[in-house]
Amino acid sequence: MIKVFAVFRDTHPEELYDMMNDAVFREEWDGFRLEAFRIARLDERNDIGYYAAKSPVPFVANRDFVNQRSWHAAGRGEYVIFNTSVPHPGIGGRAAKHERCVRAFSKLTGYLLQPWCNPTTGVEEGTAFTYITHVDPRGSIPKSLVNFVTTKFAPKTIKRVGKAVLQFRQWLPAQLASGEYTRDWGLTPEWWLSDEEEAEKPLRNETIDFAKEKMKGLTS
C-alpha cells in the first residue's frame, strides 16, 4: 500500500474535487490513460467504470481495471473519491481497443481532499491532498519491479495533479460558457450541521472517518 500526501497552495478542495471527477479533462493530464469510460451509473454518487493504463516501464504489459467508484462531498470543504475493483458482465477479460492489457485489481485507491491551514497563521491557504493506492497488478511481474514502479508512479501522479489544476482553471470557464458542460458529481454535502449544532450533538460522517483512518498519519 502506498500513501502520498501533498499540499497545493492557493487551491480549494472543491476545485480539485471537480478536476479529479472530470473524465473529459483527465485526458489532458493523465499520461498513463489509454482508454476510459463509464460502464454503468449506480446512483448519484457511485458508478462502475473501465480504465486502461499504459505501463510506466518497458517490457511490462499494460494494465486495465474495472472499478466501482464512489465520490462524496462531506461538507466543511472535505471530499473523498475512492474505488475498488468489481466484476461486471458487460466487460470481459480484454476491453482496450488497441492495446493488450492484463486485468489488474484495485483493492483500494482514493483521494482525500481537505482545506489546508497554515500552521503558523491558522489561515486557510490551500488544499491538503492525500492519495492512497493498494493495487494487485497481477500477471508475472517480479515483486521488486512492482515495488519500484509503485513508488515511482504515486509521486508522479501527485506532481501531475499539481500542474493540472492550473490548466483546469483555464480550461473550465470555456467549457461552462459553451453550455454543454455536464457536472454529474454532487457538490452539495450529504449532511450539514452548523458549528453550534455539531458542538451540541456531534455527528460522525462514516465515509470521511473511513478515509481518515486509512490515511492516518498523513493528514495531521
Q: How confident is the model at residue 55 (pLDDT cuts 50, 70, 90)?
A: confident
Report the alpha-carbon distance of residue 132 to residue 212 in Å, rounded: 11
Mean pLDDT of 216-220: 53
Mean pLDDT of 127-153: 85
The answer to whether position 32 is within a domain reads yes
SS (H, E, C) the chain: CEEEEEEEECCCHHHHHHHHHCHHHHHHHCCCEEEEEEEEEEECCEEEEEEEECCCCCCCCEEEEEEEEEEEEEECCEEEEEEEECCCCCCCCCCCCCCCEEECEEEEEEEEEEEEECCCCCCEEEEEEEEEEEEECCCCCCHHHHHHHHHHHHHHHHHHHHHHHHHHHHHHHHHHHHCCCCCCCCCCCCCCCCHHHHHHCCCCCHHHHHHHHHCCCCCC
Considering only residues 15 and 217, tell me which one the structure prediction assigns the higher pLDDT.
15
The answer to whether position 139 is within a domain reads yes
Contact 38/83 with Cβ under 8 angstroms? no
The answer to whether position 77 is within a domain reads yes
pLDDT at 185: 78
Kindly tell me if the per-residue pLDDT of 96 is higher than 60: no
Of the candidates 3, 7, 6, 5, which has an alpha carbon nearest to the alpha carbon of residue 117? Answer: 7
Looking at every residue in the chain, the average pLDDT score rounds to 83
pLDDT at 154: 77
Kindly tell me if the per-residue pLDDT of 156 is higher than 60: yes
Contact 108/134 with Cβ under 8 angstroms? yes
Of the candidates 9, 7, 58, 62, which has an alpha carbon nearest to the alpha carbon of residue 32? Answer: 62
Kindly tell me if the per-residue pLDDT of 167 is higher than 90: yes
pLDDT at 220: 43
Residue burial 104-131, b: 16+ Cβ < 10 Å; e: rest: bbbeebbbbbbbbeeeeeeeeebbbbbb
The answer to whether position 172 is within a domain reads yes
- Residue 115 lies in domain: 2-214
The answer to whether position 220 is within a domain reads no
Least confident of 2-6, 34-38, 125-129, 207-211: 207-211
Grid coordinates standing for 19? 478536476
The answer to whether position 136 is within a domain reads yes
Kindly tell me if the per-residue pLDDT of 190 is higher than 70: no
CATH number (domain holding residue 173):
3.30.530.20
The answer to whether position 219 is within a domain reads no
Side chain identity, residue 185: W
Q: How confident is the model at residue 70 (pLDDT cuts 50, 70, 90)?
A: very high
Q: How many domains does the chain have?
A: 1
Q: How confident is the model at residue 122 (pLDDT cuts 50, 70, 90)?
A: very high
